[in-house]
Amino acid sequence: MTRFWQFHGGIKLNGNKNLSSEQPIAKANLPQFLILPLLQHIGVPAEPVVKVGDKVLKGQIIAHCQANDCHLKMSVPLHASSSGTVVAIEPHSVPHPSGLKANCIVIETDGRDEWVECNSITDYTTISPMTLRQHIAMAGIVGLGGAGFPAHMKLKSAGIDTLIINGAECEPYITCDDRLMREYPDDIVTGAQIFRHILGGTQHCIIAVEDNKPAAYSALLQSAQGRVSVVKVPTLYPTGGEKQLIHVLTGQEIGKAQLPADFGIVVHNIETTRAVYRAVKAGRPLISRVVTVTGNGIEQPQNLEVLLGTPIQVIIDQCGRKPDIEQLIMGGPMMGFTLPHDQLPIIKTTNCLIISSTPTLATQQTAMPCIRCGACAQVCPVNLLPQQLYWYTKAKDFKMAKNYHLFDCIECGCCAYVCPSYLPLVDYYRYAKAEIRANEQERQKANLARNRHEFRTFRLAREKAEKLARHQSAAAASQPDKKIIIEAALERVKAKKTHPDSEEKPILEESLL
Amino acid sequence: MPFKLSTAPYLHQANSVAIMMRQVLYALIPGIALYVWFFGWGIVIHILLTSITALSCEAILLWLRNRPLRLFLTDNSALVTAWLLGSALPPFAPWWISVLGTAFALIFAKHLYGGLGYNPFNPAIVGYAMLLISFPGEMTKWPYLASLSGHYPGIVESMSIIFTGQPLGEITLDALSGATPLNTMKTQLNNFHTVTEIKQNPIFSYYGAKGWEWIGSTFFLGGVWLIYKRVITWHIPMAIIGSLLLISSLFFILDSDRYPSPLFHLFGGGSAMIGAFFIATDPVSAATSNTGKLIYGTGIGILIYIIRTWGGYPDGVAFSVLLMNIAVPLIDYYTQPRVFGY
């Protein structure tokens, strides 16, 4: 594994990581209320198994996967991050770009932080992969790099020969994985081996670290002792993207329609690996995560181990809130999103909070027309032509945008970063994608309606035809009947005329009797 | 307290259209300085004229089109057009040539198509081509090299020539000006002289034409600096130079008496270098994918040779660029790069 591949483009960014990378991970304060959204991962929300008024212990399952089967539905259970009382199960604002509310369980903490009984596994090698996977699912572990893909879903494919632990952490400002690698290298190496065991012993197991984190690299190298390979990859945004990292390490290009598992590759994040280690070795479910709290809007940028559900407000206060905060970003400065206020909880996918008092981050420039300089195409890691995508999106020629591989765009923001005209290019692509999806839905709906209408017309016509046919056949059937009746009647009349007495008398007699 | 909402990315490179355009202007300065050294101050006066005209036209048209004045007047794009056109004009051309060409470029080639970013043709080249077709007399009268004519036109004399058509003192304009080396080569070849005979003329030098070879080389270095600064990529200039070199070498090897050397094509005038690095690379009107740029540049290089060798004009840079501008949408459509994972 000495050779690296290089994806197209990419940009060198000023990391700004030393704001927060040199202080050890500290514990965040226990908040008065914990707000725990039922959906903190990609998939189906968990279903509450507690009622308002219930006492809960730290680590207790408070919402479970639907149908209690995490394997069928893409879902994981949710645990109480601290002991206390459930005070509400209701819609609450959550950190999501949409700004919509979602169902949350609110716990008022009792300050005792009392743990539920944990069942730890001392020797994971004696446990079957199936059981371990179930154990990880029950611990509520999802991809902690930001996507929130349930971790056990990426542990069940057979035929995996390469396990990659993603320690690239390529976005500026974020240092939570860096700190974890420096402080808990043994946990991460053991976590990687647990993954390996579950995947049936992969041939390769690589922990990849960008070369701007030498301390993390040497710490891991020391812990690994040759059990797993630790490699330094060149610092280049977006190396930390799953498919980009795979390309750098293996040369495999995985298109939008394929999954890494199709190529025998699985990628897990550093903190996910550590969460798995803790779930297995200590039996602790995922109830906290390390969050990088940084930016020029706070006095003390640092990494905090935060209980899930802690309001962001509490975190900012702990780090020394400055009075002039202008913007609050969740995630990195390249792919994160802004939050409208700080009364929102930390969730499983919150890896970083950037609190800024402008103008370091926000760009104030007015957008100019595109001059087609192509700087965007030179940096696009997917090798798209962003200038053409922009052109067609602006002209609402979505068909052409699709032809230019719009849906392969990973929204990394490299194009917008270099654009001399300050065009919000990623916004245009998101808009085009949404429009195309909406159009497709619209078309499907229209198709459905048309089919329904056509079927109705057909059905009515058929019913009419059937009715007609029935009438005709009925008419046809009744026609001979009538004839027979008439004939019979005529016969009788004839008979009467010829034998006036012989037929009527007996009947009369019978009736009299 | 509500925070400000906006969309990612929240970082941006310290770059802008105005900075890119300014870098193009910087890259032109050394070449222009050498121009002044060899041919006098005429080029500077023309650049001043084209700049003033360009900014005025830009302002009027922005106002007529209801566009923000400040934003677009400070983007330096009108100045780039002005400087490129100013550097392409003969230093002794009358003042109205500059004004007319620039106004045509800005009004017809730029703003009638929608302004910055929407012009299918390079405005400076459209202005130049219009002047070349309409006023061949004024556009082909070039000053002799000062070292050859023994007369260096200073600022005052250049102004006198440009505004009144008369040099200072007893000399006539005709005594100071004549055809360019490229033009001389073409007419003499048409008169059945061999390249070796033609090169006896003192205006030619070993590898190009006296003075011009230095101007061309300086524009080349300016262009290399633009590549280094990532204002342009290497594809278009290298494709133009490469294809021109290749096709001229081929004919030069076949018959070096009828076809001038590849170096003469590159350094016999300033046009090849300024065209390759500054004009053909105008991003708005050029092909956009890297493969497309190579095709576009190769097309220009070959067309330059065809027009110079068999066409009616001694130089073909302007028409080659315009012809390839037409082909850009087609080139762009068929040269999409291979997307990751396909």
* Per-residue model confidence as pLDDT tens digits over A503-513: 445 444 444 44
Is B120 part of the contact surface with chain A (CB cutoff 8 Å)?
Answer: no
Q: How far apart are CA A271 and CA A349, in angstroms?
A: 11
Q: Nearest residue on chain A to B18, judged by CA atoms?
A: A420
Q: Do A420 and B17 touch (CB under 8 A)?
A: yes
Minimum distance, in Å, between the CA of residue A212 and any CA atom of chain B: 19
Q: Nearest residue on chain A to B285, judged by CA atoms?
A: A372
Is residue A218 scored above 80 in pLDDT? yes
Residue of B233, B336, B338 lying closest to A378 (CB–CB): B233
Q: In this structure, what token pair is assigned to residue B339? A: 């997307």
For position A278, what pLDDT does the model report?
A: 93
Q: Do B339 and A421 touch (CB under 8 A)?
A: no
For CA atoms B318, B322, B324, B328, give the dihedral sign. positive
Q: Do A335 and B9 touch (CB under 8 A)?
A: yes
Confidence of residue A72 (pLDDT cuts 50, 70, 90): low
For position B62, what pLDDT does the model report?
A: 94
Q: How far apart are CA A231 and CA A224, in angstroms?
A: 11
- Helix ranges (DSSP H) in A404-424: 414-418
Confidence of residue A131 (pLDDT cuts 50, 70, 90): confident
Q: Nearest residue on chain B to A362, judged by CA atoms?
A: B10
Is A426 part of the contact surface with chain B (CB cutoff 8 Å)?
Answer: yes
For position B24, what pLDDT does the model report?
A: 96
Minimum distance, in Å, between the CA of residue B289 and any CA atom of chain A: 7
Residue A498 burial by Cβ neighbours in a 10 Å radius (0-12, 13-18, 19+): exposed
Q: How far apart are CA A219 and CA A466, in angstroms?
A: 82
In degrees, rounded to 5, the angle at the alpha carbon of residue B90 between the alpha carbons of residues B89 and B94 is 90
For CA atoms A295, A299, A303, A304, give the dihedral sign. negative
Residue of A254, A338, A383 lying closest to B4 (CB–CB): A338
Percent with pLDDT over 90 in chain A: 63
Is residue A120 scored above 60 in pLDDT? yes
Rg (CA), chain B: 21
Is B329 part of the contact surface with chain A (CB cutoff 8 Å)?
Answer: no
Q: Do A247 and B337 touch (CB under 8 A)?
A: no
Determine contact, residues B63/B94, Cβ cutoff 8 Å: no
Residue linked to tokens 């209701």:
A90
- Can you tell me the ipTM of this complex? 0.88
DSSP-assigned letter for residue B243: H
In degrees, rounded to 5, the angle at the alpha carbon of residue B210 between the alpha carbons of residues B207 and B214 is 80
Three-state SS for A111? coil
| CA dihedral of A164, A170, A171, A173, whole degrees rounded to 10 | 110
For position A3, what pLDDT does the model report?
A: 81
Q: Do B233 and A339 touch (CB under 8 A)?
A: no
SS3 of A319-370: the string is CCECCCCCEEEECCCCCCEECCCCCCECCCCCCEEEEECCCCCCCCCCCCCC
* Complete edge-to-edge strand list for the sheet that includes strand A352-356: A26-27, A302-307, A288-294, A352-356, A327-330, A337-338
Query: What region does A8 belong to: left with phi over 0, alpha with psi -120 to 50, or beta?
Result: beta
Is B74 part of the contact surface with chain A (CB cutoff 8 Å)?
Answer: no
For position A501, what pLDDT does the model report?
A: 56
Residues 6 or more apart whose Cβ sits within 8 Å of residue B207: B213, B261, B263, B264, B267
- Residue spans of the domains in chain B: they are 14-178, 180-342
Is B289 part of the contact surface with chain A (CB cutoff 8 Å)?
Answer: yes
Confidence of residue A359 (pLDDT cuts 50, 70, 90): low
Taking a contact as any Cβ pair under 8 Å apart, which residues of chain B between 295 and 314 contact chain A? Answer: none
- Give the model confidence (pLDDT) of A423-448 as tens digits: 999 999 999 999 999 999 999 999 99
Residue linked to tokens 């996910």:
A272
Residue of A336, A365, A374 lying closest to B8 (CB–CB): A336
Q: Nearest residue on chain A to B74, judged by CA atoms?
A: A368
Residue of A375, A408, A417 lying closest to B9 (CB–CB): A417
Per-residue pLDDT of chain B (342 residues; tens, 9 = 90+): 688 888 888 888 888 999 999 999 999 999 999 999 998 899 999 999 999 999 999 999 999 999 999 889 999 999 999 999 999 999 989 999 999 999 999 999 999 999 999 999 999 999 999 999 999 888 888 888 877 777 888 888 888 888 988 888 777 777 788 788 888 888 888 888 888 888 888 888 877 888 888 999 999 999 999 999 999 999 999 999 999 999 999 999 998 888 988 998 998 888 899 999 999 999 999 999 999 999 999 999 999 999 999 988 888 899 999 999 999 999 999 998 999 888
Determine contact, residues B272/B244, Cβ cutoff 8 Å: yes
Is B254 part of the contact surface with chain A (CB cutoff 8 Å)?
Answer: no
| B226, B291, B339, B342, best to mutate vs chain A, most A CBs in 10 Å | B339
Is B337 part of the contact surface with chain A (CB cutoff 8 Å)?
Answer: yes
Residue of B3, B11, B337 lying closest to A327 (CB–CB): B3
Is A367 part of the contact surface with chain B (CB cutoff 8 Å)?
Answer: no
| pLDDT, mean of residues A288-292 | 95
Q: Nearest residue on chain A to B21, judged by CA atoms?
A: A420
Q: In this structure, what token pair is assigned to residue B48? A: 């001043």
**Count of A-B CB contacts under 8 Å:** 158
Three-state SS for A372? coil
Q: Nearest residue on chain B to A370, judged by CA atoms?
A: B117
Confidence of residue A56 (pLDDT cuts 50, 70, 90): very high
Is residue A153 scored above 90 in pLDDT? no
- What's the half-sphere exposure (Cβ side, CA atoms, 13 Å) at A258? 16
Minimum distance, in Å, between the CA of residue A362 and any CA atom of chain B: 6
Taking a contact as any Cβ pair under 8 Å apart, which residues of chain A between 205 and 244 contact chain B? Answer: 243
Q: Do A340 and B230 touch (CB under 8 A)?
A: no
Minimum distance, in Å, between the CA of residue A373 and any CA atom of chain B: 5
Q: Do B336 and A421 touch (CB under 8 A)?
A: no
Taking a contact as any Cβ pair under 8 Å apart, which residues of chain A between 158 and 177 contact chain B? Answer: 172
Is A254 part of the contact surface with chain B (CB cutoff 8 Å)?
Answer: yes
Residues 6 or more apart whose Cβ sits within 8 Å of residue A66: A44, A45, A46, A47, A73, A75
Spell out which residues of chain B touch residue A366, defining contact as CB-CB under 8 Å. 68, 71
Q: Nearest residue on chain B to A371, judged by CA atoms?
A: B117
Phi, psi (degrees; rounded to nearest 5) at A208: -105, 130
Q: In this structure, what token pair is assigned to residue A79? A: 């645990």
β-bridge mates for residue A269, sequence order: A166
| Nearest CA-CA partner of B34 in B170, B176, B277, B215 | B215
Minimum distance, in Å, between the CA of residue A440 and any CA atom of chain B: 24
Query: What domains, with CATH codes, occur in chain A?
Result: 17-28+125-330 (3.40.50.11540)
Q: Do A338 and B337 touch (CB under 8 A)?
A: no
Q: How far apart are CA A146 and CA A335, in angstroms?
A: 10
Residues 6 or more apart whose Cβ sits within 8 Å of residue B32: B43, B44, B47, B83, B87
Is A422 part of the contact surface with chain B (CB cutoff 8 Å)?
Answer: yes
Q: Nearest residue on chain B to A253, judged by CA atoms?
A: B341
Is B89 part of the contact surface with chain A (CB cutoff 8 Å)?
Answer: no
| A239, A373, A414, best to mutate vs chain B, most B CBs in 10 Å | A373
Q: Do A426 and B339 touch (CB under 8 A)?
A: no
Residue of A72 and A152 predicted with greater confidence: A152
